[in-house]
Amino acid sequence: MPKRFRLTRRFPVAMTEDGYRKLRDFARDAGLDEGEALSFLFENFNSVTDEEKLTRRLRIFNSELEARKR
């Protein structure tokens, strides 16, 4: 029997325009709304990410973060 899909948490999220645009595109292509798309991505995080690439991209993102906040 499939798990019931319940949205139990709501939280304010700050995203970059590029990040939100990609989320909207992903959600549209998958036939989901943005909340459903985020739930899918995080519920399946380990299977939809490449750990080596994720670590590298996270390092780059963090190194650029302060400059991007200005």
Q: What is the reported pLDDT for 26?
A: 97
Closest Cα to residue 33, out of 3, 5, 1, 12?
A: 5
Closest Cα to residue 34, out of 44, 19, 47?
A: 19
Backbone angles phi, psi at 37, to 5 degrees: -65, -45
Q: What is the reported pLDDT for 67?
A: 87
Query: Buried b / exposed e across 1-15, counting CB within 10 Å, b at 16+?
Result: eeeeeeeeeeeeeee
Task: From first to last of the 70 residues of the chain, give the pLDDT tens digit.
Answer: 677 777 778 888 889 999 999 999 999 999 999 999 999 999 999 999 999 999 999 999 999 988 888 8
* Contact assessment for residue 40 and residue 30, using Cβ atoms and an 8 Å cutoff: yes
